[in-house]
Amino acid sequence: MYTIRKRIEISAAHSLKTTYESQCNKLHGHNWIITISCRSKELNENGMVEDFTAIKSMLHRTLDHTYLNDVLPFNPTAENIAKWICDQIPTAFRVEVTESENNTAIYEED
Protein backbone atom coordinates (compact mmCIF):
# COMPACT_ATOMS: atom_id res chain seq x y z
CA MET A 1 0.00 0.00 0.00
CA TYR A 2 1.32 3.43 -0.97
CA THR A 3 0.44 6.45 1.16
CA ILE A 4 1.06 10.14 0.54
CA ARG A 5 0.32 13.17 2.67
CA LYS A 6 -0.14 16.74 1.38
CA ARG A 7 -0.25 19.77 3.70
CA ILE A 8 -1.84 22.94 2.34
CA GLU A 9 -2.56 26.32 3.87
CA ILE A 10 -5.48 28.43 2.72
CA SER A 11 -7.05 31.65 3.93
CA ALA A 12 -10.82 31.75 4.00
CA ALA A 13 -13.73 33.22 5.91
CA HIS A 14 -16.95 31.64 7.10
CA SER A 15 -19.80 32.02 9.52
CA LEU A 16 -21.41 29.07 11.22
CA LYS A 17 -25.08 28.38 11.58
CA THR A 18 -25.61 26.88 15.03
CA THR A 19 -28.63 26.19 17.19
CA TYR A 20 -26.99 28.08 20.05
CA GLU A 21 -25.48 31.54 20.49
CA SER A 22 -21.84 31.57 19.39
CA GLN A 23 -19.19 34.07 18.34
CA CYS A 24 -18.60 31.74 15.38
CA ASN A 25 -22.01 32.70 13.97
CA LYS A 26 -20.41 36.01 12.99
CA LEU A 27 -18.29 36.41 9.87
CA HIS A 28 -14.67 35.53 10.69
CA GLY A 29 -11.66 34.01 8.99
CA HIS A 30 -8.86 31.55 9.51
CA ASN A 31 -5.56 30.56 8.01
CA TRP A 32 -6.62 26.95 7.63
CA ILE A 33 -4.08 24.14 7.52
CA ILE A 34 -5.37 21.12 5.66
CA THR A 35 -3.56 17.78 5.61
CA ILE A 36 -4.79 15.20 3.13
CA SER A 37 -3.72 11.55 3.31
CA CYS A 38 -4.20 9.39 0.23
CA ARG A 39 -3.46 5.74 -0.40
CA SER A 40 -3.51 3.24 -3.19
CA LYS A 41 -2.43 -0.36 -3.70
CA GLU A 42 -1.06 0.60 -7.10
CA LEU A 43 0.49 3.73 -8.55
CA ASN A 44 -1.12 5.51 -11.49
CA GLU A 45 0.40 5.72 -14.97
CA ASN A 46 2.67 8.52 -13.72
CA GLY A 47 4.01 6.48 -10.81
CA MET A 48 1.96 8.43 -8.22
CA VAL A 49 -0.89 7.91 -5.79
CA GLU A 50 -2.06 11.48 -6.56
CA ASP A 51 -0.27 14.47 -8.01
CA PHE A 52 0.63 16.81 -5.13
CA THR A 53 0.26 19.85 -7.37
CA ALA A 54 -3.20 18.77 -8.57
CA ILE A 55 -4.40 18.43 -4.97
CA LYS A 56 -3.08 21.88 -4.08
CA SER A 57 -4.52 23.46 -7.24
CA MET A 58 -7.99 22.04 -6.66
CA LEU A 59 -8.15 23.23 -3.06
CA HIS A 60 -6.67 26.65 -3.77
CA ARG A 61 -8.93 27.19 -6.79
CA THR A 62 -12.02 26.18 -4.82
CA LEU A 63 -11.43 27.41 -1.26
CA ASP A 64 -8.53 29.87 -0.94
CA HIS A 65 -9.47 33.50 -0.31
CA THR A 66 -13.19 32.78 -0.41
CA TYR A 67 -16.22 33.12 1.81
CA LEU A 68 -16.81 29.42 2.36
CA ASN A 69 -20.56 29.86 2.88
CA ASP A 70 -20.76 30.98 -0.77
CA VAL A 71 -18.81 28.06 -2.25
CA LEU A 72 -19.78 25.07 -0.12
CA PRO A 73 -23.34 23.67 -0.03
CA PHE A 74 -23.37 23.02 3.73
CA ASN A 75 -22.64 24.62 7.10
CA PRO A 76 -18.86 25.14 6.76
CA THR A 77 -17.69 23.59 10.01
CA ALA A 78 -14.19 22.13 10.05
CA GLU A 79 -15.76 18.67 10.30
CA ASN A 80 -17.93 19.19 7.21
CA ILE A 81 -15.02 20.69 5.27
CA ALA A 82 -12.82 17.68 6.10
CA LYS A 83 -15.45 15.25 4.81
CA TRP A 84 -16.06 17.32 1.66
CA ILE A 85 -12.35 17.42 0.81
CA CYS A 86 -12.06 13.67 1.34
CA ASP A 87 -14.98 13.15 -1.06
CA GLN A 88 -13.29 15.29 -3.76
CA ILE A 89 -10.12 13.17 -3.98
CA PRO A 90 -10.73 9.53 -4.93
CA THR A 91 -7.70 8.12 -3.08
CA ALA A 92 -8.12 10.26 0.06
CA PHE A 93 -8.91 8.38 3.26
CA ARG A 94 -8.09 10.96 5.94
CA VAL A 95 -8.32 14.74 6.02
CA GLU A 96 -7.34 17.00 8.90
CA VAL A 97 -8.64 20.56 8.92
CA THR A 98 -6.99 22.89 11.42
CA GLU A 99 -8.72 26.25 11.75
CA SER A 100 -6.59 27.48 14.65
CA GLU A 101 -3.67 26.17 16.66
CA ASN A 102 -5.88 24.34 19.14
CA ASN A 103 -8.80 23.31 16.90
CA THR A 104 -8.53 20.45 14.42
CA ALA A 105 -11.26 18.29 12.90
CA ILE A 106 -10.44 14.95 11.32
CA TYR A 107 -12.48 12.91 8.88
CA GLU A 108 -11.27 9.38 8.26
CA GLU A 109 -12.94 6.74 6.14
CA ASP A 110 -13.45 3.28 7.61
Q: Which residues are catalytic?
A: 24, 65, 99
User: Which residues share a beta bridge with 36?
Assistant: 6, 95
Looking at residue 27, its amino acid is L
Distance between CA atoms of residues 76 and 85, nearest Å: 12
Q: Which helix (H) or strand (E) holds 49?
A: none
